[in-house]
Amino acid sequence: MNIIIVDDEPIIRIGLRTLIDWDLHGLTLIGEASDGEEALEFIRCHQVDILVTDIRMPRMDGLELIRRAKALQADLGVLVLSCLDDFSYVKEAMKLGARDYILKPTMEPEELVKVLNHIGDQLMNERKQLEHLRQLNIQLKQSKSYQLESKIRRFMELALVDEHLEQELFTDDKWLYSMLLCSNDGKALAPFNNHYESTYLVSIETNYNERLVLIEQQKHSDVNDLIELSTIRAEQYLSWMSSIDESSSHAIYMGPLIEGMDQLRLRLDFHRSQMHYRFYANSDSTSQIVREASLLIPTDFPMALEIRNDILKSVMGNNREGVKHHTKRLAIAIHNHQPDLVRLHAFIFETIGLMIGYARDKNYAGIELYEQQYLTMERIKSNLHIDCLMEWVEEAIFEYWNCSTMDTTHLSVSNHPFIRKAKEYMKLNYQKSIGTTDIADHVRLSRSYLSDLYSREVGESLIETLTRIRIEEACKRLKLADQKIYEIAEEVGFADSKTFARTFRRIVGCSPKEYEGSNK
């Protein structure tokens, strides 16, 4: 990493230059400057990775330097050197793209090296990702299959016909047919982007866990040969998908010959009817290669709302037996009526969403991570059979209850240095009688500014995080069952056991005594 140091105090520049063994730490100090104008001219002429700059300087200050340097080089890493009374400027520097700050009066060489290496690692990872995406984009746009895919997408989605598309797809000497490849893990389908290009004409991602593949086959005297050959190809695809992830479940829906553009346009609808057929088929006879399709797909779903209300009442009452009973009722109702999968997926999505809304009202910990894991249509659609979906629904509900127990690893992640330092302070001092003023003083921001920033970045207040950290520690101690509850309350920072018990019930969903008993 190439580094430039900008400070109008020569003693600071000399100190940083001489006190750090730059080569030893894989860093290169390629320049110094005494103000922003000098530094900006240097950056124009040299490859700089990290700018280390003071804020208050003559001619051009650090803020203007950051603004102009980032305009020249968007991926420039910036570290701000700050005095104790510069924090209003540090806040502005962070808005302009600075990645961290260090206080000059308390700065140690080891700390500076650690922060610079952290910024360097961030830059390297970001640059690798950008270069990887750039190369992939170039390869895609150059490939024949990519161009053909674009034409087919425009036709199927917008009815826009390329004048040469029909000639490319339908020839006298070849058959054209389709397969819809599905997996409960989209990674198993990723190689069909380009790895297996020679085995198909074009591959189109229709969903995260779906891929429509059009295949050409030389014509033979008997069309039955095509059935045999297409089955062999499907088995080959299943083998490839399983080699990427043996634990995942996969299915391939086989379409008949495509003999014209109109049939191509309707092909996805046909595969959807096959998915419907397999989804509700008897699990003992479910095949991974499917040719059958449902003729009639119901759109109504009676009793769905009534059963959902019963499930939600059981969820909110922490009634596990009730959840099991009503999810079985739901499974029976779904089996009996076999609703359209689009409607069914939306129903499950809404149900999980209602649970999450209740959890937010109750300030459940970890609900952000839970939402990321379960409130996604991709996860719901990845269950390729009704039995798998209902198992997943029950798992989602039971996992939901775990959110009522605090785990700080579930908190929203923020790389903002002010947020990071505030969290570290709370984790180290939760047992003391601290409040937002103490946290703000440690971070050296005003209490109101830090509170607003923290709420915006993390999604909850400083006090909520502090309370959750205390409750998490209390849960660990209650599991050991070797202390009185009032002793635990005092040791995790609560003024009295009544406040502790009331707060514990609000967050965990039961009293400390009940929690202790259930974990013996």
pLDDT on residue 346? 92
What is the chain's mean pLDDT, rounded? 86
Most confident stretch, 314-318, 365-369, 455-459, 466-470: 466-470
pLDDT on residue 411? 43
Through-space distance between the first and last CA atoms of the chain, rounded to whole angstroms = 53
Q: Do residues 201 and 218 lie in contact, with contact meaning Cβ atoms separated by under 8 Å?
A: no
* pLDDT-derived band at 289, boundaries 50, 70, 90: very high
* pLDDT-derived band at 407, boundaries 50, 70, 90: very low
* pLDDT-derived band at 41, boundaries 50, 70, 90: very high
Q: Quick check: 409 pLDDT over 50? A: no
Compute the average pLDDT of residues 238-249. Answer: 84
In which order are the strands placed within the sheet that holds 50-54?
28-33, 2-6, 50-54, 77-82, 100-103
| CA gap 15, 33 in Å, rounded | 14
pLDDT on residue 365? 67
Sign of the CA dihedral 436, 439, 442, 445?
negative
Helix (H, G, I), strand (E, B), or coil: what is residue 273?
Answer: helix
Contacts of 80 (CB under 8 A, 6+ apart): 53, 54, 55, 62, 90, 93, 98, 100, 101, 102
Most confident stretch, 219-223, 225-229, 399-403, 491-495: 491-495
Query: What is the residue-wise DSSP string for 15-43?
Result: HHHHHS-TGGGT-EEEEEESSHHHHHHHH
Compute the average pLDDT of residues 148-177. Answer: 86
Strand partners, 419: none
| CA gap 361, 371 in Å, rounded | 14
CB atoms within 10 A of CB 236: 12
Percent of the chain with pLDDT over 90: 38
Q: Quick check: 466 pLDDT over 50? A: yes
Query: What is the residue-wise DSSP string for 336-403?
Result: HH---HHHHHHHHHHHHHHHHHHHHHTT-TTHHHHHHHHS-HHHHHT--SHHHHHHHHHHHHHHHHHT
Q: Quick check: 194 pLDDT over 80? A: no
Q: Quick check: 160 pLDDT over 70? A: yes
Q: Minimal CA–CA distance to 405: which of 520, 516, 489?
A: 516
Q: Which CA distances in Å does 371 have to 164, 246, 299, 362, 410? A: 46, 27, 28, 15, 11
pLDDT on residue 191? 81
Strands (E), 34-76: 50-54
* pLDDT-derived band at 410, boundaries 50, 70, 90: very low
pLDDT on residue 141? 57
Strand partners, 290: 253
* pLDDT-derived band at 406, boundaries 50, 70, 90: very low
| CA gap 485, 262 in Å, rounded | 72
pLDDT on residue 168? 85
| CA gap 403, 466 in Å, rounded | 17
Tokens of 330: 């739901």
Q: Quick check: 234 pLDDT over 60? A: yes
Q: Quick check: 226 pLDDT over 70? A: yes
Contacts of 62 (CB under 8 A, 6+ apart): 6, 36, 53, 54, 55, 56, 80, 89, 93
Q: Quick check: 192 pLDDT over 90? A: no
Give the count of alpha carbons within 13 A of 190, CB side only. 8
pLDDT on residue 85? 66
In which order are the strands placed within the sheet that holds 210-218?
202-207, 210-218, 174-183, 250-257, 289-290
Sign of the CA dihedral 343, 345, 348, 352?
negative
| CA gap 352, 358 in Å, rounded | 10
| CA gap 496, 486 in Å, rounded | 7
pLDDT on residue 518? 64
What is the rounded (10 degree) CA torsion for 359, 364, 365, 366?
Answer: -20
Tokens of 371: 């939402």
pLDDT on residue 111? 87
The phi, psi pair for 164, rounded to 5°, reads -100, -5
Q: Do residues 433 and 371 lie in contact, with contact meaning Cβ atoms separated by under 8 Å?
A: no
Instruction: Convert the pLDDT of each residue in 481-510 to its tens digit.
Output: 788 999 999 999 998 999 999 988 877 767
Q: Minimal CA–CA distance to 469: which of 443, 429, 499, 430?
A: 430
pLDDT on residue 143? 67
| CA gap 432, 359 in Å, rounded | 28
